[in-house]
Amino acid sequence: MHTEFNDKIAMKKLMLVLMMLPMLASGQTLEECQQAAESNYPLIQQYGLIEKTTQLTVSNIQKGWLPQVSASAQATYQSDVMAWPDGMKSMLSGMGVDVKGLKKDQYRVGIDLQQTIYDGGVIGSQKRIAREQGKVQTAQNEVNIYNVRRRVNEMYFGLLLLEEQIKLNNDLQTLLAGNERKLESMTKRGTAAESDLQNVKAERLNAIQKATELASQKQMLQRMLSTFCGIEVKGVQKPNINGNANGNENRRPELKALDAQISVLNAQEKALNAALMPKVGVFAQGFYGYPGLNMFEDMMRHKWSLNGIVGARVTWNIGALYTRKNDKAKLQLQRDMTENNREVFLFNNNLEQIQQHENIARYQKLMAQDGDIISLRQSVRKAAESKLAHGIIDVNDLVREINQEHAACVQQSVHEIEMLKEIYDNKYTTNN
Question: What's the one-letter identity of residue 198?
Answer: Q
Task: Write out the DSSP string of 65-82.
Answer: GS-EEEEEEEEEE-S---
Q: What is the pLDDT of residue 81?
A: 84
Query: Across the beta sheet with 305-315, what order do the strands follow?
Result: 68-77, 105-118, 279-290, 305-315
Cα dist. 34→39, 251, 419 in Å?
A: 9, 17, 19
Q: What is the pLDDT of residue 3?
A: 47
Q: DSSP 3-state assignment of 101?
A: coil
CA distance 37 to 20: 13
Q: DSSP 3-state assignment of 242?
A: coil
DSSP state at residue 65 = G
pLDDT digits (tens, 9 = 90+) for 333-391: 999 999 999 999 999 999 999 999 999 999 999 999 999 999 999 999 999 988 888 77
CA distance 292 to 106: 10
Read off φ and ψ for residue 430, nearest 5 degrees.
-110, -5
Cβ proximity of 233 and 33 under 8 Å = yes
Strand partners, 113: 69, 284
Cβ proximity of 267 and 125 under 8 Å = yes
Strand partners, 111: 71, 286
Q: DSSP 3-state assignment of 64?
A: helix
Q: Cβ neighbours of residue 229 under 8 Å, at least 6 residues apart?
A: 28, 33, 36, 37, 40, 152
Q: What is the pLDDT of residue 211?
A: 96
Taking the model in full, what pTM does it have? 0.80
Q: What is the pLDDT of residue 299?
A: 81
Which alpha helices (H) appear in 85-121, and where do they start and end?
A: 86-94
Which residues in the chain show pLDDT less than 70?
1-26, 96-97, 242-248
Which pairing describes strands 305-315 and 105-118: parallel, antiparallel, or unpaired? unpaired
Q: What is the pLDDT of residue 313?
A: 94
Read off φ and ψ for residue 329, nearest 5 degrees.
-65, -40
CA distance 2 to 426: 36
Task: Write out the DSSP string of 2-36.
Answer: HHHHHHHHHHHHHHHHHHHGGGTTT-B-HHHHHHH
pLDDT digits (tens, 9 = 90+) for 179-194: 999 889 888 888 888 8
